[in-house]
Structure 1
Amino acid sequence: MTTPADTEPKSWPSRLRRLGGGSGIVAAALVLLCAATLFAHTGSTEETAQAHAKSTVPSYVDDIQPLLNKRCIACHGCLGSPCNLKLTSFRGLERGGFGQNPYSSHLGDYSRTGMNVVQTTAEWRKRGFYPVLARDGSESENLSRSMLFQMVEAGAKHNAPGFSRKVLMPLYAKRYDHQCPATSQALAARIEKNPAIGMPFGLPALEETELATLRAWIAGNAPGPTDAERRKADMVADPKAVRAWEDFFNADDDRSRLVSRYIFDHMFLAMIVLEESPGDYFKLVRSKSAPGDASENPPAPVEIIDTPFPYTNPYKYAGVDRFYYRLKKVTAPRIQKNHFVWELNNTDIDRLQKLFFHRAWDKKAKLDDPREAPWDLGNPFRVYHDIPVEARYRFLLENSELIVSGITYGPVCLGQTATYAVKDQFWVYFVDPKYDVSVKDPKLGLETWENFMDRSLIGNDEYESAYGAALERLQPDGYTIDAIWNGDKENPNAWLTVLRHESNVSVMKGRQGGIPRTLWLMDYSGFERIYYDTVANFEYWSGDLPKLETLIFFNYLRQEFEDNFLLLLPEAQRQKYRDDWTRGLGQVALALEPFAGEEQPTQIKTSKRDPLLSLIDDIQEHMGEKVSGPPDLLNPHKKPKVSLDAPIKSYDDWVAAASLLTQTQAYKFPRFLPSVILLRLNDPEGHARVYSLIANRVYETQDTILFQDGEELPHLYTMSIYPTLIGGFPNYFLEMTLEQSGDFLRGLRDVQSLEDWNRLRDRYGILRNSPRFWETYDWFTHWNEKHRGIYAGYLDLSYYDLFDSVY
């Protein structure tokens, strides 16, 4: 059976609010009475009864998907959700669950579970997915055999507000080993043994009206969207704007085809928003089907070719003579964790044409026939060497936040140990193309392109030696401040802030969060290497060994970019910072990793008292405020002269007082904070602002996947505060008034132990068993949508009220 397409959820209808409860029962009784009278007069009792039954079944589009969005996709929204059950669309719900735990240790590969790997439910069944819905039985049979309803009903019985949080801890401790039952009988036995597994897992149960809606829909055979609803969902605001981009990507000449391949390799994870088609979201995909007429709405159907890698040969994979790049409308809800936006308008088509085609291509280059091209190498240096290297690099630079987001977010739900190679807070800069030796001499003097993507220690050493030699040859006097790309003081992609929150990562434009301990300077070849290692070549379905290789290579590259930044400092200072940034066992790995250009001079003059701070000041001036962003009053290096004991009467007072506790190692509280706290701060007029309190942890090294077990440096931990919503995985929601915020800050200052923090958290926090939990979650969801617009998505609750390092 072919499953319907994803559908765009609509607003909740009034009938949802009428289901269940006293007045709802009366209303239902009146409807039945009227229906019975009608049957008696028409004589068509059976037909009318069937029509009535159908009309009373809740609508998937109007009732069920909005309910799943509000209460389920917070844990079942992305690749690798619990039991691999993805509830962002009817197709995902129809596909069901999968018993293999994607986060457990395993040597062999698992099946790929992306929603477009296969197109029918029957094909998913062959791959091991089992149904969580039951159909074609009586109402009671449909309910009793539905695993989805079993879980939700168990939650309704056992997860009333105030349920025990402690009972969840053993379940979370074994979550990477958890295996999901594949039958309703096995699930019933599991629930009887441990009722706490009911859904929403470890969160307050659905309200009775929500449960009644789900019950009525499942009992009524769980119908999906109608053809008319699917067609409406697939309509776009401006089909001509969509077609203009599809024409650009499908231009039929050798150079255009190569450029489109390059862009697709780097943007296949991005969410595309077209200014001319407001309200729509798209993915750039490869399709068997061609674009239709420019005025056709909805646009011609897209037959996605979902290859294992973005560079996999689509001709061979799909058995086609031609494929097409298409903009596939995304009708499923957006998940904050993996939602990063490529915002475009039609003028960007001209920009890309100028970027790639108004440069001198090698006239001797003989471009490969697209069907015979070296598709499956996973080596961008070999595959795209005919595209002018500066065009490739400038494309990466001008979209750096988006591409680095792909590197650090990834397609899966949880990062697990993959994020261990990432430090908790750092800034990223880029070598200007005019100074980049990998642009001046793309091959760096090496004989083969294979060295660039060789992930072994020897291969990395050969690359680093060649890079160091190129620096000595092409940049003999060292870098000036102009060697740092400043985006022409216009493009904020020139300065990125990257944060790690244990198992997930955030990326932002500009200078944010206060001065970090470590900084990166990325060049073109390094940018491509890290992108292909962690994104284009990443096998989420693979066993542990390939993932370990990715982790190790990331560590090499992280060290390379830290070393690049150190080349801006005086020679005598470099090793001091290098040793400070990597300590303990990491010194062993550090000794094995070459410092390319270690003896290069620098033309940048810095203060002897604090050369790093002096350099950052110079970079700030070089970038300008439009790139770096406004002064960071919440995380200043120089603290304001205010007292934490003074009353807080305004948001300005709050910012000044809170800044006394940020980016400082003077207090113990940062070592007890979870990764991400979202704070709702209310003023007396009924307005509220959102702030994110982020823990910045420090470890001796990132060169071991066990570093969290004993190599923390808690005395170096700090906190940063951001005046917006950060991250996709909040650990806590806090709420307080401006009047209360002074007591909170003083309480935070005085925290000396985990027990102290827990008492403070319990006073202002919304715990997972709180009666106000869902009300608070909804408030942050609405705030996110209102204030962050196209960049907003649903927050993930996988780590809410949990802290891995403690539990």
Structure 2
Amino acid sequence: VSRYLYEHLFLAHLYFDDDAQRHYFRLIRSRTPPGVAADPIATRRPYDDPGSERVYYRLQREQETIVDKTHMPYALGAQRMARWREWFLTPDYAVDQLPSYDPTVAANPFLAFRALPVSARYRFLLDEAEFTIMGFIKGPVCRGQVALDVIQDRFWVFFLADQRLPQQRDDFLARASAFLRLPAEAGSSSGIIGPWREYARLEAQYLRHKSAALSEYALAKERPTLDWIWDGDGVNPNAALTVFRHYDSASVSKGLLGEPPKTVWVLSYPLLERIHYLLVAGFDVYGNVGHQALSRLYMDFMRMEAEFNALTFLPLERRRAVRDYWYRDAGDEAKEHVYGTLARFEVDSGIRFRTQTPLAEFYAMLRTRLAPVLERQRELASVPDAGLRQDLAALAGVHGASLSWWPEVLILRVDDPPHAARYFTVLRNTGHRHVTSLLREGRELQPDENTLTVVAGILGSYPNAIFRVQRDEIGALATALRTLASENDYRALADRYAVRRTHADFWSISDALQDEHLRLAPIAGGLLDYSRLENR
């Protein structure tokens, strides 16, 4: 259990929920026990052989400045410990031997931790699902355009209910674990073509195995309904997340932000665990190009399977049409992984749909089901000023090719004396025909489908621009944005509103922005990174 927790929390900034000063700690492996100075074990991956007969898991004070781009806070306390004991220590199960550090075992969590109940592992991941997803958002893997073009610019994330379906159960995963090998089993040096064919073959076998089990379950017991979706147990806001991609970085937030997105993920335990061991625990930033390419290519499978899970809730006769829209001009092989000969589920939905746009209905149903737990702090609906809320909604309604010149992450400071300045983030969501291209993303762009999402507060660790507007100028900003047709048009707009690096008051404005960020997000916030701040 300690090893499992360590391999999932090694990047976390741990703090105690009753510590008013909020000291942060790292969970480390040490050669020395508590009571003497820690002797950290440094390895490329958290599951590499420690080279020590005995490992001690210890807390070490974080000494570095907390920066937003790597800050992943995780609270420890009496309630957390009670849940961990309930999930991992109270159930009666046998552990005959500790898991090996051999890479073929350690890189596959379904082998290494097969003695631990699947329900315990999944509940642990769900309990802080935003943190789990944040591992690959803020970890070292999400750096650069090639790494990020595997996901859409904005999508919602939901989760399958605990142990309701076959792929969530111990017996299924015990049989399927041989198909769930991950690229990190080869270490940090790997070829590309041969290994890729092998992992594609294994994924195809797993999809057939899972599709058969899911179909058998649905025919014998229940067809897909909203009950299959985890509702956060009525209290946990991690049940619904929004992910934004910003070209070469990304963000994740609790809640369903913006208008209904193009695509949606529904994650199961095997998917959530594989994403972690593919992109967080198993990823080596110093690995060769083969290792990094395989990790990126394998993530395509994860996205496709998450989308397949979502499609199973739609009417049978509409699933392929939705898939084809998500993957316009993509190859047939990619489509078959999403929904087709490999990922098959020919059982109709148990949900009664009333319109010809079932995906939009599904989104609305999920909003209703999860309403008691939805995090609404960032929604524009949380803005108390009705007029300001209306103006920001109009700004968020701008879409199309004119946004091609707009920054992807823009912090909007709204001045309204004598009131304090208010801050919002304007995020550009770039339209794509599909996201299966590894090196040719530019060919798949769909500028007329560009959209904006405006959220309250500051979202994103790497702002591309800071605009300062007066309260009554938001409408004019939206109007100007609709007419952008060139880089010169944007430059003229920036001349009016942007706080560039060369602005005489840049640092005082930056300090105020940073102070407000830490006020609004005292736990989750850190120092922003200006390395992507444009000066155009």
* Cα-to-partner distance string for 1:361-412 (whole Å, 9 max, x where unaligned): 2xxx442147x66576311000111111111111111111001000222136
Q: Which residue of structure 2 aligns with residue 618 of structure 1?
A: 365
Distance in 1, Cα, partners of 2:264 & 2:69: 24
Q: SS state of the match for residue 74, structure 2? A: strand
Letter in 2 for 1:452: L
* Cα-to-partner distance string for 1:338-367 (whole Å, 9 max, x where unaligned): 111112223321221012122232xxx442
Q: Which residue of structure 2 aligns with residue 432 of structure 1?
A: 161
* C-alpha contact (below 8 Å) 1:337/1:413 kept by paired residues: no
Q: CA deviation at 1:444?
A: 5.1
Distance in 2, Cα, partners of 1:526 & 1:369: 24
Whether 1:267 aligns to 2:9 is yes
* C-alpha contact (below 8 Å) 2:158/2:229 kept by paired residues: yes
* C-alpha contact (below 8 Å) 2:48/2:101 kept by paired residues: no
Q: CA deviation at 1:716?
A: 0.5
Q: Which residue of structure 1 aligns with residue 192 of structure 2?
A: none
Distance in 2, Cα, partners of 1:373 & 1:547: 22
Task: Note the 1:662-673 alignment, pairs <5 A.
Answer: 662-663=396-397, 665=399, 667-673=400-406
Unaligned segments of structure 2, at least 5 residues:
184-198
* C-alpha contact (below 8 Å) 1:335/1:795 kept by paired residues: yes
Sort the Cα spacing of 1:802 and 1:525 in 2 relative to 1 into closer, same or farther, 3 A. farther
Q: SS state of the match for residue 28, structure 2? A: strand
Q: Which residue of structure 2 aligns with residue 676 of structure 1?
A: 409
- Higher Cα radius of gyration: 1
**Out of 97, 112, 120, which is 1:383 matched to?**
112
Letter in 2 for 1:782: D
Q: CA deviation at 1:587?
A: 4.5
Task: Note the 1:550-589 alignment, pairs <5 A.
Answer: 550-589=295-334
**Out of 503, 509, 529, which is 1:796 matched to?**
529
Q: Which residue of structure 1 aligns with residue 48 of structure 2?
A: 312
Q: Which residue of structure 2 aligns with residue 606 of structure 1?
A: 353
Q: SS state of the match for residue 443, structure 1? A: helix
Distance in 2, Cα, partners of 1:369 & 1:669: 58
Distance in 2, Cα, partners of 1:402 & 1:518: 21
As a proportion of its length, which structure holds more strand? 2
Q: CA deviation at 1:585?
A: 3.5
Q: Compare relative contact order (CA 8 Å, sep 6+) and give the higher one, 1 or 2.
A: 2
Q: Which residue of structure 2 aligns with residue 639 of structure 1?
A: none
Q: Which residue of structure 2 aligns with residue 340 of structure 1?
A: 72
Q: Which residue of structure 1 aligns with residue 510 of structure 2?
A: 777
* C-alpha contact (below 8 Å) 2:394/2:475 kept by paired residues: no
* Cα-to-partner distance string for 1:32-90 (whole Å, 9 max, x where unaligned): xxxxxxxxxxxxxxxxxxxxxxxxxxxxxxxxxxxxxxxxxxxxxxxxxxxxxxxxxxx
Distance in 1, Cα, partners of 2:317 & 2:142: 43
Q: Which residue of structure 2 aligns with residue 276 of structure 1?
A: 18
Letter in 1 for 2:179: N
Sort the Cα spacing of 1:612 and 1:440 in 2 relative to 1 into closer, same or farther, 3 A. same
* C-alpha contact (below 8 Å) 1:586/1:701 kept by paired residues: no
Distance in 2, Cα, partners of 1:668 & 1:625: 37
Q: CA deviation at 1:451?
A: 0.9
* C-alpha contact (below 8 Å) 1:360/1:388 kept by paired residues: no
Q: SS state of the match for residue 172, structure 2? A: coil
Whether 1:590 aligns to 2:322 is no
Task: Note the 1:593-742 alignment, pairs <5 A.
Answer: 595=340, 596-629=343-376, 632-633=379-380, 651-663=385-397, 665=399, 667-742=400-475
Q: CA deviation at 1:429?
A: 0.5
Distance in 2, Cα, partners of 1:586 & 1:527: 26
Whether 1:301 aligns to 2:37 is yes
**Out of 229, 243, 255, which is 1:510 matched to?**
255
Task: Note the 1:187-202 alignment, pairs <5 A.
Answer: none
TM-score (norm 1): 0.61
* Cα-to-partner distance string for 1:427-450 (whole Å, 9 max, x where unaligned): 00111013231223543584x623
Letter in 1 for 2:96: L
Q: SS state of the match for residue 60, structure 2? A: strand
Distance in 1, Cα, partners of 2:367 & 2:261: 14
Q: Which residue of structure 2 aligns with residue 405 of structure 1?
A: 134
Q: CA deviation at 1:454?
A: 4.9
Distance in 1, Cα, partners of 2:90 & 2:95: 18
Distance in 2, Cα, partners of 1:288 & 1:630: 43
Whether 1:349 aligns to 2:81 is yes
Distance in 2, Cα, partners of 1:390 & 1:413: 29
Sort the Cα spacing of 1:347 and 1:635 in 2 relative to 1 into closer, same or farther, 3 A. closer
Distance in 2, Cα, partners of 1:589 & 1:786: 45
* C-alpha contact (below 8 Å) 2:424/2:457 kept by paired residues: yes
* C-alpha contact (below 8 Å) 2:47/2:101 kept by paired residues: no
Q: Which residue of structure 1 aligns with residue 188 of structure 2?
A: none
Distance in 1, Cα, partners of 2:29 & 2:368: 43
**Out of 241, 260, 269, which is 1:496 matched to?**
241
Unaligned segments of structure 1, at least 5 residues:
1-258, 293-299, 637-649
* Cα-to-partner distance string for 1:644-674 (whole Å, 9 max, x where unaligned): xxxxxx9431221221232564x54322211
Q: Which residue of structure 2 aligns with residue 642 of structure 1?
A: none
Letter in 2 for 1:273: Y
Letter in 1 for 2:47: Y
* C-alpha contact (below 8 Å) 2:432/2:444 kept by paired residues: yes
Distance in 2, Cα, partners of 1:718 & 1:587: 28
Q: SS state of the match for residue 574, structure 1? A: helix
* C-alpha contact (below 8 Å) 1:497/1:509 kept by paired residues: yes
Task: Note the 1:458-477 alignment, pairs <5 A.
Answer: 458-476=201-219, 477=222
* C-alpha contact (below 8 Å) 1:425/1:497 kept by paired residues: yes
Aligned length: 515
* Cα-to-partner distance string for 1:258-310 (whole Å, 9 max, x where unaligned): x1111111111111121233330111111122222xxxxxxx53221121111
Q: Which residue of structure 2 aligns with residue 169 of structure 1?
A: none
Whether 1:331 aligns to 2:68 is no
Q: SS state of the match for residue 362, structure 2? A: helix
* Cα-to-partner distance string for 1:226-272 (whole Å, 9 max, x where unaligned): xxxxxxxxxxxxxxxxxxxxxxxxxxxxxxxxx11111111111111
Sort the Cα spacing of 1:494 and 1:434 in 2 relative to 1 into closer, same or farther, 3 A. same
Letter in 2 for 1:332: E
* C-alpha contact (below 8 Å) 2:117/2:170 kept by paired residues: no
* C-alpha contact (below 8 Å) 2:108/2:182 kept by paired residues: no
* Cα-to-partner distance string for 1:193-225 (whole Å, 9 max, x where unaligned): xxxxxxxxxxxxxxxxxxxxxxxxxxxxxxxxx
Letter in 2 for 1:272: L
Q: SS state of the match for residue 367, structure 1? A: coil
* C-alpha contact (below 8 Å) 2:407/2:428 kept by paired residues: yes
Sort the Cα spacing of 1:688 and 1:668 in 2 relative to 1 into closer, same or farther, 3 A. same
Q: Which residue of structure 2 aligns with residue 205 of structure 1?
A: none
Whether 1:291 aligns to 2:20 is no
Q: SS state of the match for residue 342, structure 1? A: strand
Q: CA deviation at 1:417?
A: 1.5
Q: SS state of the match for residue 444, structure 2? A: coil
Letter in 1 for 2:44: P
Distance in 2, Cα, partners of 1:459 & 1:695: 37
* Cα-to-partner distance string for 1:685-714 (whole Å, 9 max, x where unaligned): 140111000001121222222233222001
Letter in 2 for 1:358: T
Letter in 2 for 1:310: P
Q: CA deviation at 1:492?
A: 0.7
